[in-house]
Structure 1
């Protein structure tokens, strides 16, 4: 049966696919590239058809072996988690590949690419949420079991201080200070057990970032350069403004601490529109688009390899005096908003990327919300 679609209609379907699709000839030259392929290779279709696949991907990549197998067998072959990193495409390009021949053109091969980074983000985000939920129960237990005896210890130390010698008074003050420190830690953990619905509204993310930058420059980042790369056309984010301030204040503070001591240390805040990612909202059956990307980058030493995959887990930290709860709380807040947070790090560059839903007409807005 002949397809009722014209060639233009078929191309429109290929361009509608949410994955890069290319067709290469027997010399490995591009014959066709859909719109997502143009983004993946950072080149227009008119430019790609003048180049070869090997101009973008190293010839020792498993992709070329798959193409040869398809040509020989005239079958469809899939391979998962294939590294196609190159100087042209960048590092950490892990993809799933679907390769097939064309029945009417056996010398042509179709390659569809699925970015693993998106799938991995979803998997890691679910892990982050599970970790946050485990801390929720722990926080509630600690608040109940620790606060009462802690108050007794601090009260006893205060009573002892009144009759203690100067030498012993140092010890009683130490007990009180350490009791207060433990109490503050319990207070921070108790935030995880707050299950109240989030009051969300249309929030201008640039207003939030400017507020965070002002707080940072007046305190912990007086000597660190903070740069901005903003998309002024970005729509409002559907979120709680105070919680967003908490999230980005934490991320900026971590970035500033990472570059402290470096002469050329700098932190960059950026916003962009990135359509294509969807995630389910906690407590509902709906799925929302996460087109808003907010990034906090620094040029510090990077996150150590041994903790990179667990950076959002509770009690994981590289700071000698850190509690390891800051990023866990960030992951909880972003997850409660139905968003995703991801860390990409290597020596000399670390980026925390937050994907969030945009505000839409019809979304509930609190009386204090801003457009």
Structure 2
């Protein structure tokens, strides 16, 4: 009985191998990563696109299981498990996975289905989204940011008025009080002042006043940001600058751009400190890359965004669970973080007609800002 079973299994494996060989020419021609996953999650076949996507040859991939080439908790693993349990085809759109061998974060669409041949194999087809599609995902945050803008304006108006009344009443009562009671009156004034400062910060999201724009040399802005960082929170970190000196100016408000890039550099430095890296490094670079065009609200049909500013660090990185919401207001991986920093960055860059995105590449977290040039943006 055992010999017969062993023979049957060997015959089945032989049939499977022959079947894959018969169709390998066709499967290799498919321009999308394709994997054939066995009953024990072992890789039975990977086409050339899958080799490039996963950063390993088919021979290496076939030595291990799917769990060996992806990170723990990767959405692709749970997707394959779901298909195996339910026996139904699954299509999942817009999921992010981290590929350890290439150290990159990819935005993908996935098709996974059971191969109807009694072997419990699963066919996985991955469709990679382009950089522009990744950037367009960030554009969806604009509606969220604008909702927060409206909420901030309403809160500021509705809360500041009664707060002023509370503070005024406390000041009137203070001369009539003594000892501890007077101290409580002062505490009320101090706390109302603190809340008013917080509301002023939130008003930044609700500010829709016309900006007075002028040509701005982005390198002057970035050098100022580096100088401020080096004198304070980035004093122990090595900064490397790689600028394209031929870049023309952008149209914008210098102080607002300083705020945006200072926030990005501060985040990079904090990520390095959190990772406890002894040789922390932040690289600030600029480049001109033609070909990226997006349709932005209130702009011409398509706006060219050729000016690229990148801020890269070798810090702890952004947790996978937050990567899709990193620019959403009130989302932060820090215990004491307000979650407003990156939202504020996105709003400032949005106000300047650009967009911001990030990725994890070769052990670095890279925030990439794409902006129009001076002649491409309407005043």
**TM-score over 0.5 (shorter chain):** yes
Counterpart in the other structure of 1:140: 153
Counterpart in the other structure of 1:75: none
In the TM superposition, residue 349 of structure 1 has moved relative to its aligned partner by 3.0
Distance 1:205 1:277, change over 3 A: same
Is 1:116 equivalent to 2:130 in the alignment? yes
Partner SS for 2:374: coil
Partner SS for 2:104: coil
Which residue, 280, 285, 309 being the options, matches 1:294?
309
Distance 1:178 1:81, change over 3 A: closer
Counterpart in the other structure of 2:165: 152
Cα RMSD, aligned residues only: 3.6
For 1:154 and 1:193, the matched residues in 2 are separated by 24
For 1:197 and 1:204, the matched residues in 2 are separated by 21
Is 1:332 equivalent to 2:329 in the alignment? no
In the TM superposition, residue 158 of structure 1 has moved relative to its aligned partner by 3.3
In the TM superposition, residue 232 of structure 1 has moved relative to its aligned partner by 2.0
For 1:140 and 1:331, the matched residues in 2 are separated by 18
In the TM superposition, residue 225 of structure 1 has moved relative to its aligned partner by 2.5
In the TM superposition, residue 295 of structure 1 has moved relative to its aligned partner by 1.4
For 1:81 and 1:317, the matched residues in 2 are separated by 21
Normalized against structure 2, the TM-score is what?
0.64
Partner SS for 2:373: coil
Distance 1:184 1:86, change over 3 A: closer
Gapped regions of structure 1 (runs ≥ 5): 1-24, 31-51, 62-78, 98-112, 366-371
Contact 2:106 2:128 in 1 (8 A): no
Contact 2:103 2:362 in 1 (8 A): no
Is 1:232 equivalent to 2:270 in the alignment? no
Counterpart in the other structure of 2:65: none
In the TM superposition, residue 231 of structure 1 has moved relative to its aligned partner by 1.9
Normalized against structure 1, the TM-score is what?
0.66
CA deviations over 1:20-64 (Å, ceiling 9, x no partner): xxxxx969999xxxxxxxxxxxxxxxxxxxxx8787454369xxx
For 1:181 and 1:166, the matched residues in 2 are separated by 23
Counterpart in the other structure of 2:284: 269
Partner SS for 1:231: coil
Which residue, 285, 292, 299 being the options, matches 1:284?
299
In the TM superposition, residue 288 of structure 1 has moved relative to its aligned partner by 1.2
How many pairs are equivalent?
288
Partner SS for 2:201: helix
Worse overlay, 225-234 or 182-191: 225-234
Counterpart in the other structure of 1:313: 328
Residues 1-371 of structure 1: pairs in structure 2 closer than 5 A? 56=52, 58=56, 59=58, 91-94=104-107, 115-126=129-140, 128-260=141-273, 262=276, 263-345=278-360, 349-360=364-375
Contact 2:105 2:361 in 1 (8 A): no
In the TM superposition, residue 208 of structure 1 has moved relative to its aligned partner by 0.5
Contact 2:280 2:315 in 1 (8 A): yes
Contact 1:81 1:116 in 2 (8 A): no
Identify, as 1 or 2, the structure richer in helix.
Answer: 2
For 1:287 and 1:182, the matched residues in 2 are separated by 42
Partner SS for 2:212: coil
Contact 1:56 1:86 in 2 (8 A): no
Gapped regions of structure 2 (runs ≥ 5): 1-23, 30-47, 63-91, 111-126
Distance 1:286 1:196, change over 3 A: farther
